[in-house]
Amino acid sequence: MSRPALEAIDVHRTYQLEGVSVEALRGVTLRVDPGEFVAVIGPSGSGKSTLMHLLGCLDRPTSGTLRVDGRDVSELSDAELAALRNQTIGFVFQAFHLLPRTTAVENVALPLVYRGVGRAERRRRAVEALQAVGLGHRLTHRPTQMSGGEQQRVAIARALVGEPRVLLADEPTGNLDTRTGEEVMGILERLNAERGVAVVLVTHEMDVAGRARRIIRIRDGLVESDSVPAGAARDGGVDGGAGEREARS
Ligand SMILES: Nc1ncnc2c1ncn2[C@@H]1O[C@H](COP(=O)(O)OP(=O)(O)OP(=O)(O)O)[C@@H](O)[C@H]1O
Ligand SMILES: [Mg+2]
């Protein structure tokens, strides 16, 4: 059995806000294996983004154990945690988080700066990542000169450029129209199928979640269910969504 890419054991996260504590996660246990495609769903405020931030090493649990690529994050300094994140995880936010006055290539190359990759190599890999998401013709555009779907694809390219084992995406289609959301989903599915990148995505759209091979349902800071959606267990699936996936690839 391969080592889990991500593993949470009885993870709690409590926020302190003006003297009041909010228990955003109240004991979450789950693992994500290499190459999985998982959707995380649940009501607003149930703790999905909090969980993604923890899994993505952007935050630490209040208690419980979190392992990323087999390493217990509580044993790492902030700098070590940042390095582990940089090497293992790509993060795609709903609101893109791109630098607005910086070209697509430079936005995508940025994570490689922190790894000490040389300038020419950074550019080569950034161009390659942009081509992989169908943006080879938008290399020098700035985010302000791009559509929402294009910006989201730049954000995916940036998450990919370091060749992460896991891609975490928090509502990657939430700000996009249906057709553009479809394109972004197609890219995530292709990365998963062709490169074996594990994908964990938060969504509130059931047709998006239905395309995952596993659905984790969060409610009130707990995992309410963790299951394989109907149609996903069989090759190619049985529902319309899975059929589309086949048609596109
Ligand atoms: N930085 C913070 N400080 C205090 N409370 C927070 C903070 N971030 C989140 N919370 C609270 O923690 C709970 C979980 O928030 P979280 O953002 O994880 O929910 P979510 O499931 O992602 O919701 P949505 O679907 O609306 O994005 C909420 O009650 C929220 O108000
Ligand atoms: Mg959220």
pLDDT digits (tens, 9 = 90+) for 208-229: 999 999 999 999 999 999 998 7
Q: Is 235 domain-assigned?
A: yes
101: Cβ contacts below 8 Å, ≥ 6 apart: 142, 144
Name the region of 125 (left: φ>0; alpha: ψ -120 to 50; beta: rest): alpha
Identify whether 1 is part of a domain.
Answer: no
* Residue minimizing CA distance to atom 27 of ligand 1: 44
Residue 220, in any domain of the structure = yes
CA distance 158 to 249: 22
CB 147 within 8 Å of CB 181: no
Distance, in Å, from the CA atom of 162 to the CA atom of 157, rounded to the nearest integer, reads 9
| pLDDT confidence band for 233 (50 / 70 / 90) | low
Give residue-wise pLDDT tens across range 179-192. 888 888 999 999 99
Q: Give the Å distance between the CA of 181 and the centre of ligand 2.
A: 17
Nearest-CA residue for atom 25 of ligand 1: 44
Q: Report the candidate in 85, 95, 189 with the shortest Cα–Cα distance to residue 133.
A: 189
Q: How many CB atoms sit inside 10 A of residue 146's CB? A: 18
Calculate mean pLDDT across residues 116-133. Answer: 95
Percent of the chain residues topping a pLDDT of 90: 74
Q: What is the sign of the dihedral through the CA atoms of 4, 48, 54 and 64?
A: negative
- Confirm whether 16 is domain-assigned: yes
Closest Cα to atom 31, ligand 1: which residue?
45
- Residue 87 in any domain: the answer is yes
Task: Please indicate, yes or no, if residue 14 is contained in any of the structural domains.
Answer: yes
Q: What is the pLDDT of residues 48-106, one digit of tens each?
A: 999 999 999 999 999 999 999 999 999 999 999 999 998 999 999 877 789 999 999 99
**Domain at 238, CATH number:** 3.40.50.300
Number of structural domains in the chain: 1
Ligand 1 pocket list (CB less than 6 A): 15, 17, 22, 24, 42, 44-50
Residue 73: C-alpha distances to residues 17, 52, 59, 77, 168 (Å):
24, 15, 10, 8, 17
Distances, alpha carbon 143 to alpha carbons 71, 122, 146, 166, 169, in Å: 35, 19, 5, 25, 19
Domain that holds residue 160: 6-248
Give the per-residue pLDDT at 138. Answer: 95
Quick one: DSSP state of residue 90? E
Residue 236: per-residue pLDDT: 42
Q: Is residue 93 part of a domain?
A: yes
238 within a domain of the structure (yes/no): yes
Mean of all residue pLDDT scores within the chain? 89
